[in-house]
Every structure is written in C-alpha cells, then in structure tokens.
Structure 1
Amino acid sequence: MTKKSTTESSSNYDHLEKMSTQELLENINKEDKTVPLAVEREILAIEKLVEVVVSRMQEGGRLFYIGAGTSGRLGVLDASECPPTFGVSHNVVIGLIAGGDGALRKAVENAEDDTEQAWKDLQEFSISKNDVLVGIAASGTTPYVIGGIKAARENGLITACITNNAGSPLSEAAEFPIEVVVGPEFVTGSTRMKSGTAQKLVLNMISTAVMIKLGRIKGNKMVDMQLSNKKLVSRGELMLMEELGISQHMASTLLEEYKSVRKVLEIFKNKPEK
C-alpha cells in the first residue's frame, strides 16, 4: 500500500466552495502563518548549506538550482534576482527548470519524469566539482530532480535539496537535505501554496546569506546592485547621501561618473563632517 505523503494529505478544511470570500482568505492566511515556524525548524540545516556554498564560491564555484513546476520556477526566480540585487554575473547562481525556459509560463508535459534530463541540462554549463547543486521538489519524489542530484553526487559535486516531506527519496539522495514540513495544503495537494511559500523563504535565506558572507552587502545596503532603472538610481543616490553626507546633486553626479555605489564609497570612504 502506497503511503500518502504530507504534501498530499487531505486539507484541514472541507467544503471550500461553501465558504465566504472572507472565510477563504482568513483560512488561507491562517495556514500561511505556520510556514515561517516550519522554516525555523530547519535553520541549522540551511546554515550548513550556506557555509558550504560560500566556501565553494570562494574557490570559483557556482550555485545551481533544479526543479520542476512551481519548484523549478522559484529556483529560476531566485537565481535571476541575484545579478540585479548583488551585482554578480548571471553565471554565479543558475536556475534550471524541467522542460526548459518555456516551462516557466506553460507546463511541459512529462518533463519532470525524465531521470536523466537534469544532468544533461547541467552539462551545458560545464558543471564541475566546485559547483553546488540544490534540488527543489515539494514532494521529494520528482524524477527529474532526484536523477540530477544522484548524478551530481556520483560525479563529486556537493548536493542539497529543499523539500516539504520528511524522509523522501530526494532527501536520501542529497548530502545536505532541507526538509520544511508545512503540513497539508489548504487545497489538498496544491503545493504552490504553503510548500511554495516555504521554498521561496528558504531560497531567499540561502542566496541572501551567501551574498552577504561574500561581501556583496555593506552595512545593510545593496552597494553592488545594478543601476538599471530610475528607482534603483534614486536608491543609490540615497545610499550615498546617507553614507557620505552629500547632496542629491553630488550623489547623482558621482553615480553618473562611477556607475557603482560601491566604487563611490570606496573612493570617498572618509565621510566628511556635516
């Protein structure tokens, strides 16, 4: 008899279609409130992974995420936000989704069932032993992710996973498992809800902590962010105004010349008297 996983367990609520809009929203919110507590229970596991990723990146390694469906999309999202936020190359944190980039918008049928495709996808990036691979799967049973993790580990890479079931095949395959068990979803089996929220929180923690440890944040500021639009330029100006005690006009002039908050701060590191 097949054992029902936590992520497939029946919702704590029933007759959802009979609830008022307010009842639906309040109950979804009630369930969502449990997610940070589940993440908190995995802090030590997340810490171990962060330390490993930092050490590998200091040696020139990269961080890869693989996943299918919602999990894959969240990995790609986290990876895509690292360059504009921390000023790193797009080749430092890389997210791959089963079925390719087209699967970000439309589901690709059976893409997640191929146990060999993830490793094939990773070969396009000349993946090596210096890299770290994180498999993301709410169920912990996705063949695409498990196959990729197993192949990577066999080839000497550091492997980790983020899953929402305890003792899953994916956790057994990975060297550094992170199991955020959030319990049954509000809509039975809809892991885009609590499970997806938990994955997003953990991914935020991993990439942000890694980048801070690598010196990509000064104080609490994104000094390496890409100044790619007016909002970010204005943010950069405010950073310089606060750190250097200068006018908005001077901050704007310096940013226009040096194109980087960090460069300006390094050049004018001795804050003038106000």
Structure 2
Amino acid sequence: MSVTPITEASNLISEGIDVEQPTGIVSILQKCDAEIFEGYEDYKSLLHDDTVQTLENIAGHIQDILERTFNELQDFRRQPELFRYCLAGGDKALFTSQEAPEDDPNAGIEALKRASEGKTKVVYIGITCGLSAPYVAGQLDFCLDHPDRFIPVLLGFNPEKLARNNPIDKWDKTFMQVVNRLKERMDSGTTAYILNPVVGPEPITGSSRMKGGTATKVLLETVCLKALFDATHSTENMSVRSMIECYRAVCDAVYSKRDALAQVVNMAGEGLRSGGCIYYLGVDSLAIMGLIDASECPPTYGSSLDDVRGFVGAGYASLKNMEGDISPYGRHFRISLDNFDDILLTEKDIAIVINAGTEESVLTHIRGKQCKKFLLTFEHFQAKSDIFDHVFRIDMPLNVLNELIGQETTTTANQMFREIAVKWCLNAITTGAHILKGKVYKNIMIDVKVSNNKLYHRAAGILQRLGKLDHDTALEYLLRSIYDTDHVTDHIRDLPIAQHILTATPRSKIVPVALVAAVTGSSVEEARKRLDEQPVIRTAIVQALASASK
C-alpha cells in the first residue's frame, strides 16, 4: 500500500478552514506555519541538530567559493556574479506558473549545463518540496556524474523514503532511484547533501507555495548569508540556529496582527466573489513577492491569470531577471507600474500597495481610481486617509533580531526578513480570498489545474479521497473529464500521462466535473452543466456529495 507523502497529506489543523470566517482562516494559517519551526510529529525540523549541521556544511562550501573569488578579484566592490538560478519553464515561470517543464529531466540537465558553463566548482541546490520534480532529478543525476565539478544538494520536505518512485517519461530513472544514488555517493565519501527537514502538511493540501516556499526561503537565505558573513568576518561566525530563530520571530510578528490581516483577507474575498481582481503594487523586492504569489494562484485554485496580478516599479529593469524583458510574450508578462495603468479598474477591484505608501511613483497610479486601496507597510507614518481605505502595518521585532544575530547582521538581512513577512501576508490574503470564493472544500484545492505530472496524480488523489473511489475508478473519471467523454477508450488509457496533461492544461474545472460525475453517476455533460448553474464550486461539490449520500 502506498503511503501519502507528507507534502501531499491533509493537515488536521486546517480540515475545517473552508467554513471559517477570515479571522479563523488566518488563525489556522498561523498554527500551520508554526509547524515550520516547532516541527511535525517525530521528524527532524528546521531547528533539528542534523538540519543545522547540514546548513553549516553547505555554507562552508559556498564560503570557500566566495573567498576564492574575492581573493582573485581583490576589489570587493566589483561584486562578481556568484549565484545563478535554473527555473523550470524559464523566466516566464516567475509570473505565470509553468508547471509542465518540471516533468522534463533532460531540460533540467541542459539548463544546468548553461548555468554552470565556465565554472570549475559549483554548489548545486536542487529544490523540489515533495522530492518529486523530474527537472531536478535530471540535474542531480548530472551532478553525480561529474563529482569533480559539482557538490549536489537536494532540498525538499519529505523523508527520503517518500520520494516519488513513479516512472518519468523519456527517462530511465525515477526520483527515488536518484535519491538512492545520491545516498550511496554520500556513504562512499562523495561530498553531497540531502537537506530535508519536515515542516508538516500544507494548510491547503499540497499547496507547497505556502510552507514549502517559506521554508525554502529560510534555508537558502540562511546558508548563503552565513557563507557571506563567515567569508568576510575572520574572527567570528554567524549562528545558523539564531538566524532561523529570527525568521520565527518575524512570523510571530506578522501573526500578532492577525485581526488586521483578516480585514484585508475579507475585503479580498469580497472582491474575488464579486468578480473583481487583486493587484499588488510596489517598487522593490517586496513587490516581487507579489509577482510570485500571483503566479501561483492559477495552478492552485484554477483562477484566471487576471484574478491576481503583480506590478513592480520599472518592470524588468527593477526585476533584473536573467532573460531580461519578456513582455512580448503577452499582457500577463507586462509587469511595470505603467503597465498597470492599462487596466480599467472598478470598485470591485483591490489594489494592495506593498511598503510604498510615500512613493509618489506608486501613488500616482492609484490616486483617484475606483478600486479599494490597501497599504501593507513597515513604516511608522500616518497614511493619507484620502488614498488608502485600510493600512496594515507590520512591526518588525528589531530588538529580538538584534539580540539573536547582532545589529550589523540584522541590518544586512533586513530586506530578507521583510520579504518573508510580506510572503506570509500575501499567502494569507490570496489563500483566504479563494477560500471565501468557494475554491476550497475542507482543505482541498478542488479546482486544481491539471498541468503537470504532480498535479495529475494530485487530482486523482482528490477524487479518491472526496469521492471515496478506488484508484482505477478515480483515474477513469479524471480521464472522462479531461477528454470530455463518458466512454474512455483503450486508446486514451494507453496514452502517456504527458498527453493527458497536454490535453487537460487549457481546460477548466477538470477535477470538479470529474467529482460531480463520479458521485452523482451523471454524464460529464450533465456534471459540467451542474457546475455552470452553481458557479461557487464548493457549493456545487457539497450539493453533489449530499445527494450521493442519500
């Protein structure tokens, strides 16, 4: 019998989140986020000795690279490029989720080759929350083939034994086999690491943009900042444990304002329910957190690309991404504040300004507009009542941070702490808003977009759990919905999963249609009609399940 990975399991804390009011939603998110630091069951946590030691070791390797580079350059101010990213789907994935490229290990290998070209020593950190992404599996495998150049690190949040063991299209290994190969190399003395603390199930089942994304940011920033600190301070070291405790203090500071945050959640939910949209506006990396939050809503909640969008300063000149200006891809890739002016706003829309309440370059884009206006800020000033309908201020725990890591390091890390505080807020806003819109049943993303291998299997799991179906029946109804038919032929069944995903990606309400058809015994056409008549998907699901139980 297969065991559900922790990253795909239901969190008992949040199983009733769909019937909570905004304050209750935020309180549940707070309890779930606390597991990041407090740990989950008996698994090792972010603050476990093994996790701390692994971070120390990885930081040491990065420190060696930093020191060699700085010594060669002699002029520190030249700030050489030391960090590069490989992103499945390229820079487009920064703004619109590009789920399918995660399934291609060969694309991952080619991306890593390009990123590491000309480098003699590379610390590679492969991030896959569920230990499942083929893109990362290919890169890890490539690193293991070239131990003279690469120090591979696998970063995720499941135990190794729960790594995905499904076949990968057009490849000869599973992710589990790559993990086993990595472990064998580690046992034989090869320098490699598995960094996989367990942070508990997500508050919305499988939504790794939340706890998984937060824990990833904490770990990456901690290890890189320590490496930089130790490379530039010959007589003292930065404590990994203290740095992680700083993030815990920031988390506590954010949720200490949960009532104020719940007000924003409520207004955002009202906006989405009435057909409005949420827009994030800002000028720096805090606004980039808005771009990322927005990009994750369509695959998670089946929302449109217009429902939640982010805009930052001068667009790509502010973002400084590797591929430069990619706005020719279409309007959803136009991300400057000037591009925001092209949108015709209504009173249903919500504009959330991120720590730019005194920036005239931002205010000029919202002043006099019909939309509701909110300010999320760290600054202590009296907001202009004629501009903002609501101000949510986060008071950073500077005294605690200074005590933990010292004032110099706190100043250096200040923007990182602010970024993660903004992430917690924005995740709560869009999660709560989609719950209030009816996109969540219990704690399940019932309108998940079936756009990659991981989400295909998640969709089948949702049907099994809610419809009380066996695995084969769940897949049968999933394919019926994908291909819009009541008769799944052997030809369809024999198609590779990649083809099912390709067919499903542009279609809407795949999982709701499949579930309604399964539990009511209706045709796919009848199920779709039922959902069209009841636009609140949670309500339609509740009605279908109730009728099936009679």
Match among 470, 473, 476 for residue 250 of structure 1: 473
- Compared with structure 1, are the counterparts of its residues 92 and 171 closer, same or farther at alpha carbon in structure 2 (3 Å cutoff)? same
Cα RMSD for the two superposed structures = 2.8
- Are 1:141 and 1:168, in contact at CA under 8 Å, matched by a contact in 2? no
Bigger CA radius of gyration: 2
Deviates more, 1:70-79 or 1:202-211: 70-79
Please state if 1:262 is matched with 2:512: yes
Measure, in 1, the Cα distance between the counterparts of 2:446 and 2:370: 35
Deviates more, 1:165-174 or 1:121-130: 165-174
Q: List gaps (5 residues or longer) in structure 1.
A: 1-13, 109-116
Tell me by how many angstroms 1:19 deviates: 3.1
Tell me by how many angstroms 1:32 deviates: 1.1
Measure, in 2, the Cα distance between the counterparts of 1:34 and 1:80: 27
- Are 2:279 and 2:352, in contact at CA under 8 Å, matched by a contact in 1? yes
What does residue 3 of structure 1 align with? none
Match among 453, 458, 467 for residue 235 of structure 1: 458
Tell me by how many angstroms 1:146 deviates: 3.5
What does residue 31 of structure 2 align with? none
Please state if 1:165 is matched with 2:388: no
What does residue 114 of structure 1 align with? none
Please state if 1:78 is matched with 2:299: no
Counting only pairs closer than 5 Å after superposition, residues 1-274 of structure 1 correspond to structure 2 as 17=233, 18-20=235-237, 23-106=238-321, 118=337, 120-137=338-355, 140-149=357-366, 151=367, 154-167=368-381, 169=383, 173-184=387-398, 186-188=409-411, 190-259=413-482, 260-269=510-519
Measure, in 1, the Cα distance between the counterparts of 2:438 and 2:390: 24
Tell me by how many angstroms 1:250 deviates: 2.0
Query: Alpha-carbon deviations, 1:39-58, whole Å to 9, x = none?
Result: 12221212212222222322
- Compared with structure 1, are the counterparts of its residues 156 and 183 closer, same or farther at alpha carbon in structure 2 (3 Å cutoff)? same
- Are 1:134 and 1:159, in contact at CA under 8 Å, matched by a contact in 2? yes
Query: Alpha-carbon deviations, 1:69-91, whole Å to 9, x = none?
Result: 21111011111111110001001
Tell me by how many angstroms 1:171 deviates: 8.6
- Compared with structure 1, are the counterparts of its residues 50 and 121 closer, same or farther at alpha carbon in structure 2 (3 Å cutoff)? same
- Compared with structure 1, are the counterparts of its residues 162 and 233 closer, same or farther at alpha carbon in structure 2 (3 Å cutoff)? same
Query: Alpha-carbon deviations, 1:133-185, whole Å to 9, x = none?
Result: 00012x75444334334x1xx23321001112232657984221111111447
Percentage of pairs with the same residue: 22
Measure, in 1, the Cα distance between the counterparts of 2:383 and 2:414: 18
TM-score by structure 1 length?
Answer: 0.79
The residue matched to 2:310 in structure 1 has which SS? strand
Greater RCO (Cα-Cα under 8 Å, separation 6 or more) = 1
Aligned length: 245
The residue matched to 2:415 in structure 1 has which SS? coil
TM-score by structure 2 length?
Answer: 0.41
Measure, in 1, the Cα distance between the counterparts of 2:280 and 2:360: 15
Query: Alpha-carbon deviations, 1:186-234, whole Å to 9, x = none?
Result: 4416443211111000000000000001000111111111110111111
- Are 1:160 and 1:174, in contact at CA under 8 Å, matched by a contact in 2? yes
- Are 2:253 and 2:396, in contact at CA under 8 Å, matched by a contact in 1? yes
Q: List gaps (5 residues or longer) in structure 2.
A: 1-228, 325-335, 402-408, 483-509, 521-544
- Are 2:383 and 2:391, in contact at CA under 8 Å, matched by a contact in 1? no
Measure, in 2, the Cα distance between the counterparts of 1:222 and 1:240: 11
Measure, in 1, the Cα distance between the counterparts of 2:311 and 2:375: 14
